[in-house]
Amino acid sequence: MSLISVDHTITIAMSVRDRHSSAEWYESMLGFKPLYHADDAGWSELRTNTPGVVLGLGEHSKPSPGNCVPVFGIADLDSARQKLEQAKVKFDGETDVIEGMVKTATFYDPDGNALMLAQDLTGRPG
């Protein structure tokens, strides 16, 4: 039994310079849909493609990227990476492959926040 019972939602909070610009980037690069912009609070939220997972963008004049690396499942990592690279998205080295397990690639948003794509290679239904 746990001390508390969390619900079925996760908000991944990230620090960015310009929430509106970042929201547009996440929408055009990853298909995330803006839920709202709370301009008075310096906060925006986007619905990710994973049920119950929201991306929160906190606006800071000097963002502090790091400490959080959201990992997003993807059916075809190679194709996704190629599209992101064509859009000038920076990746951290080559795609890592653990045969029969997973294929991963780390990339960065415009504020230097690390993100990762992961393709399941186990053959198990997702």
Edge-to-edge, what's the strand order for the sheet holding 71-73? 71-73, 114-120, 102-108, 96-98
Domain holding 92, by residue range, is 68-126
Which residue among 9, 38, 60 closes a domain?
Answer: 60
CATH of the domain at 35: 3.10.180.10
Which residue among 40, 60, 80 closes a domain?
Answer: 60
Whether the full predicted model's pTM is greater than 0.85, yes or no, is no
Which residue among 33, 60, 87 closes a domain?
Answer: 60
Count of alpha carbons within 13 angstroms of residue 112, beta-carbon side: 7
Mean pLDDT in runs of 10 for the chain (126 residues)? Answer: 73 92 97 94 94 91 75 91 94 94 93 90 74
Edge-to-edge, what's the strand order for the sheet holding 43-47? 10-16, 53-59, 43-47, 33-38
Distance CA 108, CA 97 (A): 19
- Residue 3 is predicted with a pLDDT of 63
Both 8 and 27 in a single domain? yes
- Residue 67 is predicted with a pLDDT of 65
User: Which residue, chain included where needed, has tokens 């800071």?
Assistant: 60
Beta strands in the chain (DSSP E): 10-16, 33-38, 43-47, 53-59, 71-73, 96-98, 102-108, 114-120
Both 51 and 25 in a single domain? yes
Number of structural domains found in the chain: 2
